[in-house]
Chain A
Amino acid sequence: MPYPTDLLGLLGIWTGFFLTIAIYSYQLYKENVLYRLAEHIYVGIAFAIVAVTTWETTQKTAVVPLLNGEYIYLIPLALGVMMYTIFTSKIRWMSRYSVAVLVGTSIGVRTVSLIVPSIISQVISTISAPKNTALDIFNYLFIGVGTVCALLYFILTHEHKGVLKGTAQFGRYVMMIGLGTMFGNTILMRMAMLSGRVEYLLQVLKIIPM
């Protein structure tokens, strides 16, 4: 992307530059007025975008079909408005019907939709016969025994005694490898984001090309 030359563009990137410095002044220096100012501008503009999206999506999903003659959409529109009674104590009960529809739909869809991919196909791939190289067989056994022991760890109404003690402990250790891998990947994510900000500051300062 070329370095902006128009006034609005220049004003924009330098505003971004100082806002980034204001936010990181909290970490690099200490909490200060500039940081709190930038933080509160952020909260204001972020919620403005949520409000505009609410306005547009409601039009898109309900008002447009309603104007096309589908009067059934009056019901969800009414339930949507009833949602806002949550802020009043006297008629808050009306919002419970809207919440009930949302929770009923979400639970109704999610509960059954996850049984095949998150439970059954995980069992299937654990017991699918491995290719016959030594490494494949070792991996097959490690994943199989590890999955069984990790699931034993989540037996929650039986004390970890006897056979369950050793296996559940092995299951916990195997889970730690999983958590460690997530730990390593999360460092990649956090550093990528921070490097994105450093890159932006260098670009605005024209130290590196935009």
Chain B
Amino acid sequence: MSKVFSKLEDIDRRYYYWAIFLILAVPFIKPLGMPISIKQSTRDLYKGVDQVEPGEVVLIDWHMSVSTWPECLDGLVAELKVLTSHDVKIVITSISVDCEMSWNKVNQLVPALRDKYEYGKDIVFLGYYAGGEPTNQQMAIDVWSVFPTDHFKTPIAELPLMAEARTANDYAIVLTTGENEIVWVNQWWTPYGVPVGVMGIAMKGSALQPYYNSGDIFGLAVGVRGGAEFELLIGEPAGAVTRMDSISLSHLSVVILIIIANTGVLYNKLTGGKK
């Protein structure tokens, strides 16, 4: 018996890699369509986004570089669909150098941004900013001092929307996508009471739970799972939902491997076999 476990251990790691590649591919070809339950923290995020009144302004901050699209893009698109259906005004900033790609992508995936929204009046893409938390603090006091122009080099004074979205108090909520939440809790929620909602990467699900539990973050959806739940809440299952089946099989495989490996170790310990 212990030969089986050590055999599995000596398998060339590339077999594992080919196996996970195929396990991830199969559900795209033959979807399983597993039901997905929805967490309360995702419902709270949806409620907070859905409650924004037409004409109010929302700030969306991307720490979502191109590499985290598979995790956060679908959730962001779902959020934008809700906001655009309520005619909410949107200002977008980012701390990723490749944010221009994300801007082009959301314009492809959310038709209302192209057809219904007028750039400069309903939506403004301010683009990249450096400097970290001091810059977020400065934006709360005067967005114009951080962004003399938008991403397309248009002077900020020439954008009508920015006249009514200059300080933290002019914004209804802040939505962050990716990782950059704590600075908004520190610099916009704690001092000015502007609620912060997070469509984050899955790894942040732990570090942010204390802030959601203490009410410093009004809603929290993490990873592709959070995106899928949000898509279901708005009744438009899309990218995230289709990917959940391959998440299912891959997770099951990892858990089974961990259980087999540790059973092997336990078996070897009990029978005094090879370490």
Binding site for B on A (CB under 8 A): 1, 24, 27-29, 49-50, 53, 56-57, 59-61, 64-65, 68, 105-106, 108-110, 113-114, 116-118, 121-122, 124-125, 178, 181-182, 185-189, 191-199, 201-202, 207-208
8 closest cross-chain pairs (CB), A and B: A196-B70, A125-B214, A189-B202, A192-B224, A113-B186, A182-B206, A188-B202, A53-B97
* B247 contacts across to A, CB distance below 8 A: 188, 191-192, 195
The answer to whether B133 touches A65, judged by C-beta atoms less than 8 angstroms apart, is: no
The answer to whether A109 touches B134, judged by C-beta atoms less than 8 angstroms apart, is: yes
* B193 adjacent to chain A (CB < 8 Å): no
* B267 contacts across to A, CB distance below 8 A: none
Q: A57-B130, A185-B202, A187-B251 are in contact. Are A29 and B14 (CB under 8 A)?
A: yes
* B93 contacts across to A, CB distance below 8 A: none
Q: A189-B71, A195-B246 are in contact. Are A113 and B190 (CB under 8 A)?
A: yes
The answer to whether A202 touches B153, judged by C-beta atoms less than 8 angstroms apart, is: no
A and B contact pairs by CB, cutoff 8 A, 23 listed? A28-B14, A49-B97, A53-B97, A53-B128, A57-B130, A106-B134, A117-B211, A122-B214, A125-B213, A125-B215, A178-B206, A182-B206, A186-B202, A187-B251, A188-B224, A188-B251, A191-B246, A193-B67, A194-B20, A195-B246, A199-B243, A202-B25, A208-B29
* B250 contacts across to A, CB distance below 8 A: 191, 194-195
The answer to whether B18 touches A192, judged by C-beta atoms less than 8 angstroms apart, is: no
* B222 adjacent to chain A (CB < 8 Å): yes
The answer to whether B223 touches A192, judged by C-beta atoms less than 8 angstroms apart, is: yes
Determine how close the nearest CB of chain B comes to the CB of A34; give it in whole angstroms.
16
Q: How large is the interface on B (under 10, 10 to 19, 20 to 34, 35 or more residues)?
A: 35 or more
The answer to whether B206 touches A185, judged by C-beta atoms less than 8 angstroms apart, is: yes
Q: A29-B14, A188-B225 are in contact. Are A196 and B243 (CB under 8 A)?
A: yes
The answer to whether A28 touches B17, judged by C-beta atoms less than 8 angstroms apart, is: yes
Against A, the Cβ 8 Å flags (1 = close, 0 = not) of B92-121 are 000001100000000011000000000000
* B202 contacts across to A, CB distance below 8 A: 185-186, 188-189, 192
Interface stretch, picked from B32-40, B52-60, B78-86, B143-151, is B143-151
Determine how close the nearest CB of chain A comes to the CB of B169; give it in whole angstroms.
18
The total of interchain contacts (Cβ-Cβ below 8 angstroms) comes to: 147
* A116 contacts across to B, CB distance below 8 A: 190
* B266 adjacent to chain A (CB < 8 Å): no
Task: Report the separation of the CA atoms of residues A202 and B267 in the bound assembly, to the nearest whole angstrom.
Answer: 41
Residue in contact with A193 in the complex, picked from B71, B137, B182, B216, CB distance below 8 Å? B71
The answer to whether A109 touches B133, judged by C-beta atoms less than 8 angstroms apart, is: yes
* B265 adjacent to chain A (CB < 8 Å): no
The answer to whether A186 touches B71, judged by C-beta atoms less than 8 angstroms apart, is: no
Task: Report the separation of the CA atoms of residues A177 and B207 in the bound assembly, to the nearest whole angstrom.
Answer: 13
In the complex formed, the residue of B with least CB distance to A180 is B206
Q: A106-B134, A122-B214 are in contact. Are A65 and B148 (CB under 8 A)?
A: yes
* B160 adjacent to chain A (CB < 8 Å): no
Interface positions, chain B 188-229, Cβ under 8 Å from A, are 189-190, 201-203, 205-207, 210-211, 213-216, 222-225
* A182 contacts across to B, CB distance below 8 A: 203, 205-207
In the complex formed, the residue of B with least CB distance to A126 is B214
Residue in contact with A113 in the complex, picked from B133, B205, B207, CB distance below 8 Å? B133
Determine how close the nearest CB of chain B comes to the CB of A74; give it in whole angstroms.
15
Determine how close the nearest CB of chain B comes to the CB of A192; give it in whole angstroms.
4
Task: Report the separation of the CA atoms of residues A56 and B201 in the bound assembly, to the nearest whole angstrom.
Answer: 28
Task: Report the separation of the CA atoms of residues A207 and B28 in the bound assembly, to the nearest whole angstrom.
Answer: 9
* B186 contacts across to A, CB distance below 8 A: 110, 113-114, 117
* B24 contacts across to A, CB distance below 8 A: 191, 194-195, 198
Q: A60-B149, A188-B247 are in contact. List 17 more A-B contacts (CB 8 A).
A: A56-B153, A60-B127, A60-B153, A64-B148, A114-B186, A117-B214, A125-B210, A178-B206, A189-B201, A189-B202, A191-B251, A192-B247, A194-B250, A195-B224, A198-B246, A208-B28, A208-B29
* B14 contacts across to A, CB distance below 8 A: 27-29
Task: Report the separation of the CA atoms of residues A199 and B238 in the bound assembly, to the nearest whole angstrom.
Answer: 13
The answer to whether B132 touches A117, judged by C-beta atoms less than 8 angstroms apart, is: no
* B190 contacts across to A, CB distance below 8 A: 113, 116-117
